[in-house]
Chains A and B, each alone.
Chain A
Amino acid sequence: MKKIEAFIRHEAFEPIRTELLDKGFPSLSILEAKGSGRQKGVVERYRGSTLTVNVRPKLKLEVVVEDKDKGLVVETILKHARTGEVGDGKIFVLPVEEAVRIRTGEGGETVLQAHEEPEIPA
C-alpha cells in the first residue's frame, strides 16, 4: 500500500478528483495547507505599510492506494496540477503499513477504495 501526498494549487483539485473518481478511486482527503517552496510568499499592503506573508495557501491531497495503482494516481495528479509555473507543488509517495475500515473492522487493501461495494447514498 502506498500513500500519495500531493501539495497542489486549489484550482487543480476539482479536475483531479473528477478523473480519479472516473478511474475508480473515490476515496481521498484534502487539507488546507500553508507552505513555502521555490514560490516565495505574498507581499500584502495594509493601511499604507507592507506585510510579507512567507507562506502561501495550498491544498494537501491524500490518497492511499494499492501499490499497482500508484503510477495511475501520480500521473493523474501530474496531468492536472502542472501549469509549468513555479508553485505547482510536489508529490510524495509513502509506504503504508496497515489499513482498517472503522465501520466493519475489516483490514487490508480491500478497504482502500470504495469501488468494490455498491455506492452508499449520503
Chain B
Amino acid sequence: MRKKMGLAAILAIVAALAALVLPAVASAASLGEVAGSLEEKAIELNMTWVAVATALVFLMQAGFMFLEIGFSRQKNAGTGVAKILVNLAICTLAWWAVGYGIAEGGGNDFFGDSGFFFHFNQSVAGEAVNGETAMLMLYGLAFCAVSLAIVWGTTLERIKFGAYVIYAIVFGAVIYPLVAHAVWGGGLLGDIGGKPVMDFAGSSVVHLTGAVGALSALLLLGPRKGKYDAAGKPRVIPGHSMPLVGLGVIILWIGWFGFNGGSTFGTEGVLFGEVMLNTQLAAAAGVIGASLAVYMKSRSLDVGMAGNGAIAGLVAITAPSGFVEYWAAPIIGLFAGLIVVYAVLAIDKLLDDPVGALSAHGLAGIWGTLSVGIFASSRLVAEGAAPGVWYSIFGDEPFSATLGQLGVQGLAVLFTFVVVFAISIATFAIIRSTIGLRVSDEEEEAGLDISSHGMYGYPEQFIPQPEYSTGLPGTAGFGDGVPVAATPMTATETR
C-alpha cells in the first residue's frame, strides 16, 4: 500500500518536472516509459534483498555444521564437514535438474511440470526464465539445503556416508519439492476450502520436513553403541565442544534473518523489518523458555539446551513471522523453548537423537505451523486466509472461520508428515537393504573420521606429534646424533 502511494507520488513529481522542462515531450508515452522503468527498479531492489537473504540462508550450513560437530565426539568431527559439503553439492544439482521444476513449475495440485534442468529463457509455469527467476530459484535451493541438513542431526556418529549421497538426491529432487509445491508452488495446500495454508518461511515446509526425514532415518538406523544400557536406560554421550555448538547456534540465528526476512521476497512496505523483529523476539524467548525448563528439571543451566531453545524459538516463528504482531512472537518462542526441553528428555528414553533435531525442528515446527492459526493478525493475514483463533476470543472474528484456519494449518502438518515419512522410510529401507545404512561396530568404535574418511578431524588427539626433523644435511634431527655406547655405571650402587 505504502509503496504504491510512493510510486504514485514519484510519478507525479517526475511528470510535473518533465512538464516544466520539456513541455512538448511530456506526453503519455514518456510517462509510461518512466513508470515501466520504476517497476523494473522495484524488481531489481526486491531481488537485491533476496540476494542478501540467500547468502544468509546458505550461511546456515555453517551453523548446522558446527552445531552437529559440537554435539559429536572428537572422533566424528571431520565427517560433519564432509557431510555438509557433499550434501549441499548434491542437493544443488538435484534441485537444478529436477527439484525446482517439481516445486515451482506450475503443473497440478501435486507436482510442477516445467523448469527441469533450469536454463535461461526456458518457460517455467508459463513464464520465461530471467535473472529474477534465477534469483528466486537459488533462494529456493537454499531452503531445500537447510531442510536436508536438518535430516542428519539424528544420524550422527554411525551412518554410512553413502546414505547421504542417495538420500540427498531423492530429497533435493522429490521430497522437499513435493512439500514446497503443495504449500508455496500453487499445489494442494494453497487452497483448502478456499483457505490457503499460512507458512510464511517454512516451519512445516522446511523444518518439519527435515525432522520427519530425520525420524525415518533414525527408526531404521538405531541408537549409537552404548547409548542405552542393558536395562534400556539412556546414557549420556556428551558432545565434545559446547563452544562449537554455541557458534553453530549463533550462525543459524543470524542466518534466520535471511530465512524469514527474505521470505518477503522484496522490500515492499519494509515488511521484512517486522518479520525480522518477530524472529528475534521468538529466538530470545526460546532461549529463556528452554533455560527455565531445564533449570526446573535438573537445577542446572544447560548450555546445549539453551542453544536448542534458540533454535526451537526460531523454528516456531518461521511460519508465523510474517503473520503475527510483535506481542505474539515471544509467546510462540517461549512455548517452543519449553517444548524442546521436555521433548528432548522424553524422546531420549526411546530414540537416540544427539542434537535434538526431532524436538527443535519437528515439534517446534508443528507448534509454529499451528501457532499461525492461533495468533495470525487480522492486519497481516494472507489473502483468503482467516486470522488466528485468538482474534475470535478477544476480538470479533467469526469463530468458525478462525477454527477452520487452524484446521488447515493442522492439515499442513499432517500432509507434510505423511508425504515425507512415506518416501523417506522407503528410501532409507532401500539404502539399508542395498549398500547398508550403518557402519560396522568396529568402524563406529574407531569413529567415522578415520573409518569413513581415512583421517582424523583432530589428528593431534590421536597421533603423537613428533618434533619435525629439518631433514637437511648437517642439521640436528632424529637419529642424527653420534651413536654412543652406554658406559658402565660410574656411581656406586647404593641400593
Contacts and interface: CB of A to CB of B under 8 A. Distances in A.
Report whether over half of chain B's contact residues are helix, strand or loop; otherwise say mixed.
loop
Contact of A47 (B356, B484, B488, B494): B356
Contacts of A104: 484
A67 B487 contact: no
B24 interface: no
Contacts of B235: 51
Contacts of B302: 45-48
B486 A49 contact: no
Interface in A44-99: 44-51, 66-67, 95, 97-98
Interface string B312-345: 0000000000000000000000000000010011
A47 B236 contact: yes
Nearest to A108: B491
Contacts of A49: 234, 236, 298, 345, 348
B27 interface: no
B2 interface: no
B238 interface: yes
B490 interface: yes
A110 interface: yes
Nearest to B295: A48
Contacts of B348: 47, 49
A107 B485 CA distance: 10
A98 B489 contact: yes
A1 interface: yes
Interface in B446-495: 481, 484-491, 494-495
A48 B495 contact: no
A108 B481 CA distance: 21
Contacts, number: 67
Contact of A107 (B236, B294, B345, B489): B489
Contacts of A48: 294, 297-298, 302, 305, 341, 344-345
A121 interface: no
Nearest to B488: A107
Contacts of A50: 236, 298
A1 B493 CA distance: 8
A46 B491 CA distance: 56
Interface residues of B, number: 28
B325 to A, nearest CB: 33
Given A48-B297, A49-B236, A67 B491 contact: no
Contacts of B37: none
A104 B491 CA distance: 16
A106 interface: yes
Contact of B487 (A46, A97, A105, A109): A105
B70 interface: no
A61 B488 CA distance: 28
Interface in B77-133: none
Contacts of A67: 494-495
Interface residue tally on A, bucketed by range: 20 to 34
B234 to A, nearest CB: 7
Contacts of B494: 1, 66-67, 109
A103 interface: yes
B224 to A, nearest CB: 14
Contacts of A114: none
A62 to B, nearest CB: 18
B490 to A, nearest CB: 4
Interface in B277-313: 294, 297-298, 300, 302, 304-305, 308
B490 A45 contact: no
B238 A105 contact: no
Contact of A51 (B238, B294, B490): B238
Contacts of A95: 495
A107 B344 contact: no
A30 interface: no
Contacts of A97: 495
Nearest to B485: A105
Contacts of B298: 45, 48-50
A100 interface: yes
A97 B235 CA distance: 46
A38 B456 CA distance: 37
A45 B300 contact: yes
Nearest to B484: A105
B306 to A, nearest CB: 10
A27 to B, nearest CB: 16
Contacts of A66: 494
Nearest to A105: B484
B305 A47 contact: yes
B236 A46 contact: yes
A97 B495 CA distance: 9
A71 to B, nearest CB: 14
19 contacts: A1-B495, A45-B302, A46-B236, A46-B238, A46-B304, A47-B302, A47-B308, A49-B298, A49-B345, A49-B348, A50-B298, A66-B494, A67-B495, A104-B484, A105-B486, A107-B487, A108-B490, A110-B490, A110-B491
Interface of A: 1, 44-51, 66-67, 95, 97-98, 100, 103-110
Given A48-B298, A105-B487, 10 more contacts: A1-B494, A1-B495, A47-B345, A48-B345, A49-B236, A51-B236, A66-B494, A104-B484, A105-B484, A106-B490
| 4 nearest CB pairs, A to B | A105-B484, A108-B491, A51-B236, A109-B491
